[in-house]
Structure 1
């Protein structure tokens, strides 16, 4: 029977999925000329893209060098058999296909899902009314910060908004929380960029502040009515007890009447009412003391019914209170969304999180041939890697394209194909929109959007790890799977952990339990594990410490560095961790706050580091830092304050000789400064705003061969492997979350036209009602799966040695907690009959004594910092192609600097040739660039709106300083004066920015004070085309 053209592969950790994908890919491209042009392969990281591209090219290259069947790669033999080719035939064909790809590399379409989606949006930009040159925003935190700041700045101006903000602050104060609502708005605003919330937010898009005000009033009204009803029901119940002939003393500790008294007196908190065994006693008829005879057998039944009726209303009230507490942040969500949209429109930006939503709305209903036509390609074969991380919307957007290929035929009567590879057990990106259930449904044939049925395969063998590690993980996860609530998840963990071993024998697993769960103990045990690995022939670079939480990585890095263990972690790679960078940023801050002695101290402390009398040096200059820097280092703080951030930093680098040795932190920092200037302008405060928000994430990239222990989170470790893995802090609470929320469907009439409300997720939701309990349990099941998946990814990274450090964690009754990782490990050991009380270490297998050829030797070439500071008035710019990396960033730097400099030499149109000669003589441009640069300059000089401003007979001031009233100096690029009328021009490259307008308005104010009439303020954007913007 012929196999299906739709294939699904279940690929557990280390099972050779890249090999499987490469094999399928090679069969297609070897079967027909230029077959690769008809293939779209999608994965989720650039690293995975490069790995797959590399595997294809390396395979074709190695095939092209095969001369006989002796010692041929296994994949070569597989291709021979599959395509029925001889060795010479496959060798020649491989050489030909390799040349086809290399000569048409742009059509070698293996990309990330985001890159492909980006391309779709670019293709349809005009239809979507999106600027063609929009900037993709990868970091939505900055966008959200600015949006919230704008909303808060409107307090006092917009009356309706101000009232909402004020009410929210007062509610927080009433709850003994900080009145600062900024953090709350950031949290609720994050919902805008999470794909799983899109369908819910869609229901709110037409709701304004007034709609939410009406909803709030409705909720308050319902709360008041419920409270009245509860008080009345409690009073009625107490009267019933009195009328039944029972005394308060007849009840044990008077618990039952006290319960109803609390409700009568307005105590409605479930925590105060339902933490005893009262309900259990009522159900069992134990409501009075043993020696008391009940007047009627009906009394226990009546009291139980009244008790349960009140309880139901108590939890209805709790639900409404939960809704109420989330109302104000939700009310402001639309306002935040509007600000986000406004900012993006101003800056021609589009956040990456919007891509899928835009395509889903605008493109999914287009016929597939139309989409192909607009893309300019027609794919017939699709490969999707890491399908478990694909979001629902991403998959929905791909279905029309894939369906057309899979269900239709090409000109030769051939159907297309789809290869899907995934693993439910490695789905750890739900917070980013990934939906493991989607792959689960596809793999089990519960859901198939195509008419073609799928063939499902299991990749059975683990090629990564040694035998002992594979066996340990198989046994452990089969044991742990019984605690998964969802049967489908349970099945995948049980069946997916029966991996076959490979030829790598031996291996070692050590499972340790700490008596005291402290940072010190985890650090000590981790160090012990490192030393144990080193004593068995491993090197520092062979070891990776994997942690669930970033803060644990920070703690371990601090501990290990104190013990002189070389460590590379995300924190140690942060730009902010470099003393040089800290010094440079402190100088920027000090230039804006010269009276701040803490900043002066930080600067002097850095400069005094190598001085013999450090303390005396600091004391001497602390009160007059500017004078001290001038006399000690010839650093002119006044000049520094006038420079742009980039020029200022280069001035600092040269003056303080910071580039004496190669420094990756310095290079990366200057790249960051340049990028911020391009987006936000050159003023120092803009840079500091960016730095303050991003200093915890901006980092350098280091070579993989660096001799140091790596520390990384589970998410960063996914897809990687290491000879030695240490997994400390292996005692995570499976259900741990930070302020989780739930969307709950509600009756639109009761809730003023709203069909959904947002509530906080907490245990009491189980008592709100069946609907709420179902949603809660469903989310708990997903949370449980996500935690199991994180554990699975952590334990399957090791090749030969695995150390797990957990906690000896028991409840008071000496039972272990299976909702913690530690409990799962303890249960496993008990099930294997290995557990011994007071035994804290368990070993499986033995450590190989010597590890040979763990990696290729890497020769690292360091690149010194290239200084480009323009020391006015005489300077030259070195832009020799051999001195720069050929990157888009470097091209942008060169183009911006060159054009800007040459325009500064041109007062009138006839100065053009002279300016080009000067540029050539000073090495600013080379002969081969002249014509292209000349065309660009001509576009400016001859532009219809600028031509008159380059004619003779006027006064022209190029880059001339203007002393402002406050003592600062401003420097417009070009000022043209005609009979007391002034034209101010600034040249810019890159995207438009509203801050540029403010800059020109500042220049204009100076000329107005000098009694000039400012006729025009003009920004000239010099990119591929010249764009003129007149500022009103």
Structure 2
């Protein structure tokens, strides 16, 4: 048979809308590549953005491989896809190949290259530490706030050394005071300092390297202030001229159209220097009808028009000519003081890296860019240094890729494209522009939408999209299809009009329209329409409530309380009636502040309903609430008790009474008791060792001794003595806390104080994974919900601003401006920039803000399977500008929704069609091991102690035979290689286990043991030898067989005994080892006892 397929384009760009089976497509593509040969997994690099996504992808691929190897029908669809790509593989051959690949990956797992972008970048950088001038043992610092604080402290220390810097700060403080602001500049400085960690800072930093910084900033201050003052002076002259013309005319406001509301009422303010009010005066230029209604002017008003109109035209011409430079100078001057300090902080950051042997996570992409740029034509040197050569690339969540990341990967991908065979589509990019919500991480959705294809070339790219929705019920799909066909057009019209109003017609035609930006939002959402899958369930409910407002000012605030009341009523109704279980429901919000607000309200509501139940007998739907705040490890009372005890151990000053009080209060809380009032008065004077009536007696007795223990062991002691391990609700937090302790002590024992410092800076911010519990109503941010799905989604605050980044900082290119030498600068985002020389950058930022708002709505509404519930502010009676996301929904729903029998009932859009066929609801315990208590041992050091230690202890007592047996046991546990016996005996002598006089006798005895034919036969097998490896069971108990030999078909356990007889407990011990290994997945486990003094090998 001759298979001669058409050559495939090497790169597929796959647009994957929400719920469309992206993970399936990634897995299928990866497996298609994998079956090319058994070692293909070493040549494929799959990159995603989170550790969670990485683990999910690895697990999915291995699970399918395992099922393919077992010939299971559950993976028939994958089998079909693989066979289509590899037609020479019949079912049996495919099954065998799957088995081989599966085993190879498991035995070579470190080469199974599915990684986060940051993980891959770190892998490259670790390979190039010498070339990059990095310390080989550098630490990766993730906590930018910690670094910012350290840099701010260093900046203050440097003021004594740099008087010009001190004067700069004094001038900043004086300017702030003159503007009626606080002199304290630290907050603004810290906000702007965040920019030095971002990719956009690099051009600015590079530009300053070639300049005299102190001179540069003084010059910039003079230039910008001069430009601002010159503009305002000229404007004031022209405005006063207009004011004098009006005043001389004798015409009063009451004679003019609109009377006190007429634009001339703003002339005195313009003459005083208020430039922004000129927009009101523009509409009267050349328009006599704006002077008096109908344009029939009285003689005096006619004279005023003829004399004032030329002056207003002069002001307009001046504005048109000069306002761009003026607004640009103001924008730069606003942050100029902070720019100088930010540059100083960036210089200090270099010192911080060197002093702490630290690399910031934000440094990585910049360093990699230097590597990939040097090896752009041939990256083989990179692969050689890394020990891996990747020929296939898979990119997941590509919409969140930054420009720097793409620039780094592009040379590697282009090189791989040049080697494409055409046999398969070698590379895959998967993403969804509509789910790009991480712009604050430098994500740029335009790379997926346009740039990637342009950089790679159309001839190399296949465009595909996943069109079916496998997640949501039919009505949810129809509703979202309608929303995201309508809203993108509404938003595009909004920004197009803003450019014409706040910018200019020339800007719109010569830039916006010419660049194709007049339809970019609908282009991004072109593939938002989804088809129903064969498995889509009919029905589904949608409720959109527009809450009434009194006026159009601060609408979101007006409806806040009403939205929360509606939310709690709906939850109570659903859970009380049994329509939904709490674990099916997720409440999505924009921020952690909103999450706290929702949780506080729900908790208060539940408490109120409990009181009503107790007093009035009213029933209600009780439910638990789970949030990110609740998952913070530091918020668990058991962990608080442990940390408070550690703080008490190291606190020597007056604060010790505070920590005593915390420990007592938290301990009594664990006991379910109240602290006696009399206890508080005696705490200050009573030492901890005398607090047995308030704290565990064992803790009081050992309070000082335990401070000398290793941290891990101390934690075990405290968990035990407080009885925390007996309370099941604390177990996830205790396990997480112990994991954090273990990671902290990986580099050695650093002590309690250092741990507490780390805890304050980083540890207390750690949280459990959100999937740790699913029998409660979840409250989370939309960002955290990405990639998740819920039966019911509630959006109580669908009111975020469309242009929500007002007063934020963004970077602009200074090319072709008087400030070109800076390359780029950060400026405050303000509407006035639409008239400045930075107008293009401003309107681009506006576009990004609108897309952020729209994408946030898309992610939120597509998380649901069965029921979507939204509350949003309505609109007042007067004209209401479209300013919040709820306005877009209202506008879109004014058109009929295809496929839905729904309409407005008053102010609400309601479609309530519960699913007739319901998917099973998982409980928290399903598929999980439920531990009932913390498996703590009496002493961790005992649980994992080396047999060597026990040998030393046993040598202190016992008769000669016992002594000899212990020595031989230890020797043979270390080696059974005759050639190494002498070397090990010498080592044991140096350790004090063997005396010089014993060495020869011990060696002869060991050689006699090893001459046993049956034993030699066992040891001669080519098995993997694992000597004295610890096995820890589910209860935390440890076991250590003397020797474990692992072969392809069987596992052998050999335990040595140097006693004069065989004992039942010997056999029991080996059988326990056998069971442990069987539980670990080894099918054939054979056990043996070898009695050294008896020269007998006994099968167990």
TM-score band, normalised by the shorter chain? 0.7 to 0.9
1:842 to 910, 916, 921: 910
Cα distance in 1, alignment partners of residues 473 and 971 from structure 2:
58
Cα distance in 2, alignment partners of residues 334 and 16 from structure 1:
47
Structural mapping, 1:580-619, within 5 Å: 580-587=638-645, 591-595=651-655, 601-609=661-669, 614-619=675-680
Match of 1:268 in 2: 274
Deviation at 1:572, TM superposition (A): 0.5
1:147 to 136, 147, 151: 151
8 Å CA contact 1:508–1:845 kept in 2: the answer is yes
Match of 2:194 in 1: 190
Deviation at 1:643, TM superposition (A): 8.3
**TM-score computed with the length of structure 2 as normaliser:** 0.72
8 Å CA contact 2:64–2:75 kept in 1: the answer is no
Match of 1:45 in 2: 50
Q: Residues 589, 179 of structure 1: CA spacing in aligned structure 2 closer, same or farther, 3 A cutoff?
A: farther
1:742-789 Cα deviation digits (max 9, x unpaired): 33444788449434433211122223x3x3222211111111111211
Count residues with an aligned counterpart: 886
Q: Which has the higher helix share?
A: 2
1:762 to 830, 835, 852: 830
Match of 1:794 in 2: 860
Match of 1:778 in 2: 844
8 Å CA contact 1:766–1:773 kept in 2: the answer is yes
Q: Residues 626, 327 of structure 1: CA spacing in aligned structure 2 closer, same or farther, 3 A cutoff?
A: farther
Match of 1:389 in 2: 400
1:7 to 2, 9, 12: 12
2:535 to 488, 493, 503: 503
8 Å CA contact 1:235–1:264 kept in 2: the answer is yes
- Match of 1:421, SS state, is strand
- Match of 1:31, SS state, is coil
- Match of 1:496, SS state, is coil
Q: Residues 741, 611 of structure 1: CA spacing in aligned structure 2 closer, same or farther, 3 A cutoff?
A: closer
Deviation at 1:571, TM superposition (A): 0.6
Match of 1:214 in 2: 219
Deviation at 1:681, TM superposition (A): 8.4
- Match of 1:7, SS state, is strand
Match of 1:368 in 2: 379
Match of 1:31 in 2: 36
Unaligned stretches of 5+ in structure 1? 870-874, 882-893, 904-916, 943-1032
Q: Does 1:78 align with 2:138?
A: no
Match of 2:555 in 1: none
- Match of 1:144, SS state, is helix
Structural mapping, 1:79-228, within 5 Å: 79-84=82-87, 85-206=89-210, 208-228=213-233
Cα distance in 2, alignment partners of residues 683 and 543 from structure 1:
44
Match of 2:285 in 1: 282
- Match of 1:448, SS state, is helix
Match of 1:829 in 2: 893
RMSD, matched Cα: 4.1
Match of 2:1012 in 1: none
8 Å CA contact 2:8–2:424 kept in 1: the answer is no
Match of 1:335 in 2: 344
Deviation at 1:642, TM superposition (A): 8.4
8 Å CA contact 1:173–1:179 kept in 2: the answer is yes
1:165-201 Cα deviation digits (max 9, x unpaired): 3333333333343333332222111112222443344
- Larger Cα Rg: Structure 1 or Structure 2? 2
Match of 1:860 in 2: 929
Q: Does 1:418 align with 2:424?
A: no
Deviation at 1:399, TM superposition (A): 1.6
Q: Does 1:543 align with 2:585?
A: yes
Cα distance in 1, alignment partners of residues 217 and 690 from structure 2:
58
Q: Does 1:725 align with 2:793?
A: yes
Match of 2:509 in 1: none
Deviation at 1:561, TM superposition (A): 4.0
8 Å CA contact 1:644–1:682 kept in 2: the answer is no
Q: Does 1:65 align with 2:70?
A: yes
Cα distance in 1, alignment partners of residues 776 and 344 from structure 2:
48
- Match of 1:736, SS state, is coil
**TM-score computed with the length of structure 1 as normaliser:** 0.77
Match of 1:464 in 2: 471
Cα distance in 2, alignment partners of residues 416 and 476 from structure 1:
34
Cα distance in 1, alignment partners of residues 183 and 308 from structure 2:
48
8 Å CA contact 2:65–2:102 kept in 1: the answer is yes
Match of 2:313 in 1: 305
- Match of 1:8, SS state, is strand
Q: Residues 805, 115 of structure 1: CA spacing in aligned structure 2 closer, same or farther, 3 A cutoff?
A: same
Q: Residues 853, 257 of structure 1: CA spacing in aligned structure 2 closer, same or farther, 3 A cutoff?
A: closer
8 Å CA contact 1:194–1:431 kept in 2: the answer is no
8 Å CA contact 2:283–2:290 kept in 1: the answer is no
Cα distance in 2, alignment partners of residues 91 and 675 from structure 1:
40
Q: Residues 657, 261 of structure 1: CA spacing in aligned structure 2 closer, same or farther, 3 A cutoff?
A: same
- Match of 1:130, SS state, is coil
1:110-135 Cα deviation digits (max 9, x unpaired): 22221111111111111111112211
Cα distance in 2, alignment partners of residues 722 and 794 from structure 1:
11
8 Å CA contact 2:476–2:542 kept in 1: the answer is no
- Match of 2:129, SS state, is coil
